[in-house]
Amino acid sequence: MSQNIQKKLEDAAIPVLPQKKDYAIGCIGAGFIMNDCHLVAYRNAGFNPAAITSLSAEERDAAAKRHTIKKVYDTWQKLVDDTDIEILDIAVPPDVQLEVLRYVAEKKHLKGILAQKPAAMSLGEIREIAAIGKTLGIPIAVNSNMRYDQSMRALKYALDQGLLGKPILATIEMRAIPHWQDFLKKYPRLEIYSMGIHHVDIFRYLFGDPEKITALCRTDPRTQFSHRDGIVQFSYQYKDGFIATSLDDVWAWPNEPCEKDIYIKWRVEGTEGMADGFIGWPVYPQRQPSTLRLTTKQADGWIMPRWDTVWFPDAFVGTMASLLRAVENGTKPEIDIEDNIKTIACVEACYASIQEERTVRLDEVLGLHP
């Protein structure tokens, strides 16, 4: 029984690919996330990045050469205007993304769009993006790529199969030091929208929408530009009493000569079993697969699946594959823009909780609760 469960957990992490892989993908942006994650994953999966553009001509040309992309444009408008492009892959700062999509709304040749995470930085903006998708009649997916981390896919399978019974408590503890991108320095909100949103979204993926959210934060002493939410703790509360809580610590190390202790670990406890693991991403570019170990009343001992793939860059196969299958089958992608509205609402609930020093109902933020 244990070996059978282990094999199914390992298989759950394998993304389902579309039958047609050669959709022409137009890539907007050539920074790290596009150059080192999206495009590496796409080539490995046999997808077809056909065109690229970036504000940085140097980054654009280097990415085009590295990934053998034939069409290179000096503006994103020219790329969008190319009627040979079928899929748009956007990797720009969130305050620019809506501008791009407003322009795209006037085009009729595109079949699908992958929007970078966060898709927007307010409920109003993401609802406008969702409306653009409806107007065009095409799927818009969001690149919430932690959903395709191998341990998270396997954990989702375990939960769906009832291996843990009824979930009682879930935790994520992140001790990692990000390299904040320059564009983040102009935003009044920092950690939850740029890093914590992974955990905000993954709890929804694993457990569904919470009833209430409570959050608190402090500044990160290492980060020199103005910000409020550097170190954040937030908790989801569900109607059945289940709690999911995340601690996002971007301080984690007081600099030389202290030793580093960087990690992201998670744990889920249920009435029939328990699972925990580590996310391999913090040691990137070293390839370190995430881990999972599981104990359940349905089998003896610890079950510990293993993977050769890693979150960065391999998980990015899954986000694009989901969009391409949606285009192929006329269905919604797994991380659909309409669904992502609730992820942004959860982020907004965190900020409201911090600002107002209270627990906030999700329905209240969505405008569904008086």
CB 268 within 8 A of CB 228: no
- pLDDT at residue 256, rounded to an integer: 77
Percent of the chain whose pLDDT exceeds 90: 91
State the pLDDT confidence band at 181, using cuts at 50, 70 and 90.
confident
Mean pLDDT of 152-166: 98
Burial of 258 (0-12, 13-18, 19+ CB in 10 A): exposed
Q: Which string of DSSP letters, residue by residue, matches 174-207?
A: EE------GGGGG-S--HIIIIIHHHHHHHHHHH
Strands 273-278 and 293-296, bridge-based pairing: antiparallel
Helix (H) or strand (E) holding 232, with range, is strand 231-237
One-letter amino acid for residue 352 of the chain:
A
Percent of the chain whose pLDDT exceeds 70: 99
Q: Give me the residues paired with residue 218 across strands.
A: 231
Mean pLDDT of 114-143: 96
| H helix intervals, the chain | 2-12, 32, 39-45, 57-66, 76-81, 94-104, 123-136, 150-160, 191, 197-207, 315-329, 337-356, 362-366
Q: What is the pLDDT of residues 61-110, one digit of tens each?
A: 999 999 999 999 999 999 999 999 999 999 999 999 999 999 999 899 99
Of 188 and 115, the structure prediction assigns the larger pLDDT to 115
Q: What is the pLDDT of residues 13-72, one digit of tens each?
A: 999 999 999 999 999 999 999 999 999 999 999 999 999 999 999 999 999 999 999 999
Neighbours of 2 (CB within 10 A): 16
State the pLDDT confidence band at 369, using cuts at 50, 70 and 90.
low
Q: Is the pTM of this model over 0.95?
A: yes
Which domains does the chain show, CATH number per domain?
A: 15-145+319-333 (3.40.50.720), 146-312+344-362 (3.30.360.10)
State the pLDDT confidence band at 118, using cuts at 50, 70 and 90.
very high
Mean of pLDDT over the chain:
96
Mean pLDDT of 266-273: 98
According to DSSP, residue 260 is labeled P
Of 305 and 254, the structure prediction assigns the larger pLDDT to 305
- pLDDT at residue 211, rounded to an integer: 98
Longest dimension (CA), the chain: 59
Is pLDDT of 370 > 70? no
